[in-house]
Amino acid sequence: MIVYFRTMRTKDEEKRAALFEATVKLVNEIGFVASSVSKIAKEAGVSPATIYVYYKNKEELLVSAYSNIKLDLSKAVLQDFDDTLPIRDILKKVWLNMFRYILENIEYFRFIQQFAHSPYGSMVDRESLEQHFVQIRNVLERGIEQKIIKNVDRHILSAFLYHPITFLTNPPSTREPFELSEENIETAFNLAWDAIKL
């Protein structure tokens, strides 16, 4: 009985995984708009109708892919999170974790970037996703209390602490491309820290 059950589930999860990977791959290759249900199905090696066995509709397929990656990212970013370290060290750890994840999962990262700017971007429950990052927010608050970090609007802090990352990992293609070397990543963090520190 259990064997039978497992067989079913395995097959199930294999298709789910195939659909997830196909979705990410296609969005990276041809963009969000061109990634139609039938193309995703073909990429995953299933019939378009099969997608509707696993997801209620296209939106659910895409949002589910987004949520999966976001959760994965949040876990990676908080890896080895140690509340007792100095604030600068905590933020640097988070910063490096983030870059490592992006470098190792550039397709996933490109996907969530594209997702955020797609028509589906506004359909995700932001509140529930951002809760994973509440610990980082607390570190910033502590830094402000301890007069280590500038006491300015939190959006402004975000703009200099996190947002540059999305630019540096997706720079406009110019003649001289940007190299995501260890050194550059460290340097960039120094600028971020200089921006927010008191």
With CB under 5 to 8 Å by kind, the binding choice for 58 among a copy of itself, DNA, none is DNA
Cα dist. 94→64, 74, 107, 178 in Å?
25, 10, 20, 21
What residues numbered 5-64 form the site for a copy of itself, per CB under 8 A? 31-34
What residues numbered 39-68 form the site for DNA, per CB under 7 A? 39, 46-54, 57-59
- Integer-rounded Cα Rg, in Å, for the chain is 20
Q: How far apart are CA 3 and CA 118, in angstroms?
A: 42
Q: How far apart are CA 161 and CA 137, in angstroms?
A: 11
With CB under 5 to 8 Å by kind, the binding choice for 196 among DNA, a copy of itself, none is a copy of itself
With CB under 5 to 8 Å by kind, the binding choice for 187 among DNA, a copy of itself, none is a copy of itself
Residue 36 interacting with DNA (CB under 7 A): yes
Q: How far apart are CA 53 and CA 194, in angstroms?
A: 51
CB of 84 to a copy of itself, least distance (A): 27
